[in-house]
Amino acid sequence: MSIAVKICGLRHARDVGDAVRAGAAYLGFVFYPPSPRSLDLAAARDAALAAPAGIVKVALTVDADDRTLGALLEAVPIDMLQLHGRESPARVAEVRAHFGRPVMKAVGVAGPDDLVALEAHARVADQILVDAKPAPGAAVPGGNGLAFDWTLIAGRRWPVPWMLAGGLTADNVAEALRLTGARQVDVSSGVERARGIKDAQRMAAFVAAAQGRQHA
């Protein structure tokens, strides 16, 4: 089975094209103004429309209310919602039922105690994103280039598909996959040449490394 890669924080149609050519299966668009990767609805629509059929377009939001989510989905052709804030399992179930889109819930992990939240969200979400917990006071909940102790989830399985995130690069993704058994990975800062600026070669190198291929 091939490893599926999500490249998050795409901001332009050219980024989408580069990610697709690299072999990404998921494209992530950020809707959280404090993030340097955040998009307005018009820019996000242009970027999402550049994606070919069959690639999953994911909207990353943080504690967004129904009005915000509704406006986003009306303006941008999104296939999946990624809830990356402090949304409870009840809120995840509510969003999933109300908007009729698959929901991926991100859960930050720093220690064994955080695994309880993963179990709870896996019962209501369509997918879970196992990410590094941001440092206290961090401006954004993800995309900070932080990793966590991958052995915490070694051999663990959940009843829904899951994705590994947090500090992944072309240099460490193979080891992360070996330790965790993940079949899907998410990358943002690890394929950038500067904060918020994606690099086509780094995207291609990351996907190749995740899939065990030689990067030309």
Tell me the per-residue pLDDT of 183-216, one tens digit each, with 9 for 90 and over. 999 999 999 999 999 999 999 999 999 999 766 5
CA 188 – CA 195 distance, rounded (Å): 9
**Spatial CA neighbour of 80 closest among 210, 186, 197, 170:** 186
> How much is the pLDDT for 44?
97
Counting residues of the chain whose pLDDT is more than 70, the rounded percentage is 93
Q: Tokens representing 75?
A: 């303006």
- Tell me the pLDDT tens digit for each residue of 120-156: 999 999 999 999 987 555 555 544 567 889 999 998 8
User: How confident is residue 78, by pLDDT bands cut at 50, 70 and 90?
Assistant: very high
Catalogue the E-assigned strands of 97-202. Answer: 103-109, 127-132, 162-164, 184-187, 192-194, 197-198
Q: Is pLDDT at 1 greater than 80 in this prediction?
A: no
Alpha-carbon distance values, 68 to 10, 65, 130 (Å): 20, 5, 25
The pTM assigned to this predicted structure is: 0.92
- Tell me the pLDDT tens digit for each residue of 97-121: 999 999 999 999 999 999 999 999 9
User: How confident is residue 174, by pLDDT bands cut at 50, 70 and 90?
Assistant: very high
Contact present, 173 and 206 (Cβ < 8 Å): yes
- Tell me the pLDDT tens digit for each residue of 16-47: 999 999 999 999 999 999 999 999 999 999 99
Q: What share of the chain is helix, strand, coil (3-state, %, to 5)?
A: 35, 20, 45
> How much is the pLDDT for 141?
56
* Three-state DSSP state, 14: helix
> How much is the pLDDT for 73?
98
Please give the CATH number for the structural domain made up of 4-210.
Answer: 3.20.20.70
Q: Is pLDDT at 86 greater than 80 in this prediction?
A: yes
